[in-house]
């Protein structure tokens, strides 16, 4: 496995992963019918950096890192992670999250915050907790899951400086 910074041409391979995850409507608060052009803007243009994780040259997952808030909050970053459903259970999200924390420190961030983690995304909640993130807020019925209905969303946070 190798994690590297994404290049513009990678989006054609990222798009099927992004589209499958977002159109399912189970984890991200993006419109389920988001266009490829808008997805590219969200995932590749807005973030400070975007990375891919690949095995034998095949992209299996991706993440972005960006500043969570401007000005006095600019020392806190935010990340989003996606793993191809076909590549789940291989530790890719763990590897990307650990990598993102080092990238965050290298970029001068002091903390990382996940703004909107649906409680129905139990695997993510479990993994982020295992990797040292604390639940610092709970937004009641903030995420409209396609089969579970309105579920809570968590704000999860980790101070990165030691």
Residue 88 has pLDDT above 90, yes or no: no
| Mean pLDDT (whole number) for 95-121 | 97
Question: Mean pLDDT, to the nearest integer, of 118-125?
Answer: 96
Q: How many CB atoms lie within 10 A of CB 30?
A: 17
Q: What fold does the segment set 2-159 form as a domain?
A: Aminopeptidase (3.40.630)
**Mean pLDDT of the region 53-75:** 96
If one compares 68 and 161, the residue with the highest pLDDT of the two is 68
Q: Are 145 and 120 in contact (CB under 8 A)?
A: yes
| Alpha-carbon dihedral angle through residues 31, 36, 39, 40, given to the nearest 10 degrees | -170
pLDDT at 93 exceeding the cut of 70: yes
- List phi, psi (to 5°) of 131: -90, 10
Q: Three-state SS for 56?
A: coil
Q: Taking all residues of the chain, what is their mean pLDDT, rounded to a whole number?
A: 96
Q: What is the CA radius of gyration of the chain?
A: 15
User: pLDDT band at residue 109, thresholds of 50, 70 and 90?
Assistant: very high
Task: Using the predicted structure, report yes or no on whether residue 162 has a pLDDT greater than 70.
Answer: no
Who wins on pLDDT, 21 or 88?
A: 21
Angle between helices 122-130 and 92-106 (to 10 degrees): 50
Residue ranges of domains in the chain:
2-159
């Amino acid at each position: 496995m190798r994690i590297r910074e994404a290049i513009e041409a990678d989006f054609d391979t990222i798009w099927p992963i992004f589209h499958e995850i977002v159109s399912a409507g189970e984890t991200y608060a993006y419109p389920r019918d988001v266009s490829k052009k808008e997805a590219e803007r969200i995932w590749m243009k807005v973030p400070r950096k975007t990375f891919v994780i690949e095995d034998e040259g095949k992209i299996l997952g991706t993440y972005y890192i960006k500043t969570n808030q401007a000005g006095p909050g600019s020392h806190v970053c935010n990340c989003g992670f996606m793993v191809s459903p076909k590549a789940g259970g291989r530790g890719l999200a763990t590897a990307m999250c650990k990598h993102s924390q080092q990238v965050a420190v290298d970029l001068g961030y002091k903390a990382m915050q996940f703004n909107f983690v649906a409680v129905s995304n139990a695997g993510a909640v479990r993994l982020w907790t295992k990797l040292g993130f604390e639940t610092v807020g709970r937004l009641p019925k903030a995420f409209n899951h396609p089969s579970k209905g309105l579920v809570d969303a968590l704000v999860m946070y980790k101070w990165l400086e030691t």
